[in-house]
Amino acid sequence: LILHPSLLHLLLLPAVIFNNHFLLSLLSLDPVDVLRALQVPSLPEGVKKVPGFCTSRRSSSPDHAYRISKKAQISAPTKQLFSGRFPENFSIMALVKAQAGLQAFLLSIYSEQGIQQLGIEMGRSPVFLYEDQNGKPAPEDYPLFRGVNLADGKWHRIALSVSKKNVTLLLDCKKKMTRPLPRGNNAEIDTNGITVFGARLLDEEVFQGDIQQLLIASNPQAAYDFCEHYSPDCDSPLPKTQAQDPNTYVS
Ligand SMILES: *[C@@H]1O[C@H](CO)[C@@H](O)[C@H](O)[C@H]1NC(C)=O
Ligand SMILES: *[C@@H]1O[C@H](CO)[C@@H](O)[C@H](O)[C@H]1NC(C)=O
């Protein structure tokens, strides 16, 4: 039996598909590195590389961050961040220094219909905007973190843990505040829309400041481990997975 090369090719096809699938599962990293997924490290217009949270770090090179100016316009199809579903229980973690006095959204996720389903606000008494596929909670019931100021010109480690019908804000590794999140059972966030960094569409005020990390993990525990596993103090090295490759950046 002699196989024509093109037939051989056909026989090999399933193996190629399998390998691609395998590769994709390897690529869908958890947590999702939002800055990388939105190509912030390639320094689009309005973004520049600046020193980060730790100007010196034990057995590592100093941190670096990205300075986001008013000019920046950063967005992508949400599918670029989540190839599958958006997790029902999750953590959002950020290491960020917002300009003092700012009141703006750091991240917004829109459904295919253009409804904002997720929003992380920086500023005084920030709101956690979350709306499931049935519009729950209603805007007047969005969790609000009264008395907290996330935009005071200083670095903050901000971790939000969303689990069941609660959202917990863990601020700078010590303060912990839980608010009810009256969403439905089997709440979903549509991944067929777009993700916007540093703004909410139609808002005049946009995020300005420095950001070093923005991660979304598909489990509610990660937020509790943020300072230990992902964003340690300056006397500890950054975890390997977060190691920043200087070759990726234009200086
Ligand atoms: C989210 O957490 C709730 C409560 O623990 C659980 O019932 C639900 O199955 C979780 N969802 C997923 C997708 O794991
Ligand atoms: C939500 O948080 C409150 C207050 O911390 C707690 O009493 C309650 O058990 C939590 N509910 C769920 C479903 O985790």
Please give the number of the atom of ligand 1 that sits closest to the Cα of 89: 1
Instruction: Look at residue 41 in the predicted model and tell me its pLDDT.
Output: 97
**Rounded CA separation 104/204 (Å):** 9
Q: Pick the atom of ligand 2 nearest to 178's CA.
A: 5
Pairing mode, if any, of strands 116-122 and 128-130? antiparallel
What is the separation of C-alpha 213 from the centre of its chain, rounded to a whole number of angstroms?
8
118 CB-contact burial (10 Å; exposed 0-12 / middle 13-18 / buried 19+): buried
- Domain presence at residue 161: yes
Q: Within a domain: residue 193? A: yes
User: Would you say residue 224 lies in a domain?
Assistant: yes
Is there a domain that residue 21 lies in?
Answer: yes
- Please check whether residue 172 lies inside any domain of the structure: yes
Position 211 in a domain: yes
CATH code: domain of residue 36: 2.60.120.200
251 inside domain: no
Question: Which of 160, 176, 178, 221 best tests ligand 2's pocket when mutated (most atoms within 8 Å of CB)?
Answer: 178
Structure tokens at 28: 């869908």
Whether 247 is covered by a domain: the verdict is no
- Cα-based distances in Å from 33 to 40, 60, 216: 10, 20, 7
Distance CA 66, CA 50 (A): 6
Type of residue at 95: L
132 C-alpha to ligand 1 centroid (Å): 15
**Closest ligand to 186 CA?**
1
Q: How many independent structural domains does the chain possess?
A: 1
pLDDT of residue 244: 45
Domain that holds residue 117: 5-239
Atom 8, ligand 1: residue with shortest CA distance: 164
Question: How far apart, in whole angstroms, are the C-alpha atoms of residue 28 and residue 83?
Answer: 7
pLDDT value for 3: 55
Render 82-112 in DSSP notation, one character per residue. -SSPPPSSEEEEEEEEEPTT--EEEEEEE-T
The pLDDT profile of the chain, 251 residues, written as one tens digit per residue, is 555 555 555 555 444 444 444 444 445 578 999 999 999 999 999 999 999 999 999 888 899 999 999 999 999 999 999 999 999 999 999 999 999 999 999 999 999 999 999 999 999 999 999 999 999 999 999 999 999 999 999 999 999 999 999 999 999 999 999 999 999 999 999 999 999 999 999 899 999 999 999 999 999 999 999 999 999 999 998 886 544 443 333 32
pLDDT for the residue numbered 189: 97
